[in-house]
Amino acid sequence: MPSGLWTRRAGVRVNPVQRHCIMRTVRYQSSRTLFGRPLVAVAFGPNYFADERRGHARGIIAIGDVATGWLALGALARGFIAVGGLAFGGIALGGLGVGIIGIAGVAFGAAAIGGFAAGGIALGGVALGVVAVGGVAVGSMALGGLAIGESVASSFRQDPAAVEFFSQWLPRWWLP
């Protein structure tokens, strides 16, 4: 191979494509720690020297392609508060959110809010849960345009138990 196409960097031979990607890599860890973790960690882009395809940030506040921390922000986020395309944690916000409280396009959790929501209490366009409120609501107590369940309040049917239950939480004008 012609030596002009390859570069040496930190003792490792890197081809031009890898060199271009390396220049776009970001890594940062704060010197302060809490419980053995850096306070802030940032990791974006591949790190070919560590054989890492995506940046994995691990810290109390983690920001990166993959983020794991108490507050995690990334494409794949895992933490007590997780914000990202795929979010897993106590409070999960993102495209797909799975957590105790899931707020996402597709949300799963004890309390789920989203376009599609499934959980104990579900609020969304399509809601599946013990208590479900949405355009299409399926649950033990269901409120919506199309409500399916044990006790429902919909434009087609209004069970007294469902109307009484939902009137405690929602304004009367919300009920069909």
Beta carbons of 103 and 95 less than 8 angstroms apart: no
Contacts with 53 (C-beta within 8 Å, 6 or more apart), sequence order = 46
Q: Which amino acid is at 46?
A: P
Domain-embedded: residue 38: yes
pLDDT for 168 equals 85
Q: What is the pTM of this model?
A: 0.79
Please give the span between the terminal C-alpha atoms of the chain, in angstroms, as a whole number.
Answer: 74
Q: Are 120 and 132 in contact (CB under 8 A)?
A: no
Instruction: Identify whether 58 is part of a domain.
Output: yes
In-domain check, residue 31? yes
What range defines the domain where residue 112 resides? 7-174
- Per-residue pLDDT of 13-44, as tens digits, reads 555 655 555 557 788 888 887 888 899 999 88
In a domain, 2, yes or no: no
Query: What is the β-pairing status of strands 7-9 and 12-14?
Result: antiparallel
Minimum mean pLDDT range among 58-72, 88-102, 109-123, 155-169: 155-169
Tell me if 1 is assigned to some domain: no
The pLDDT of residue 173 is 61
Type and span of the H or E element at 78: strand 61-153
- Cα 12 to Cα 105: distance, rounded to the nearest angstrom: 43
Tally of domains within the chain: 1
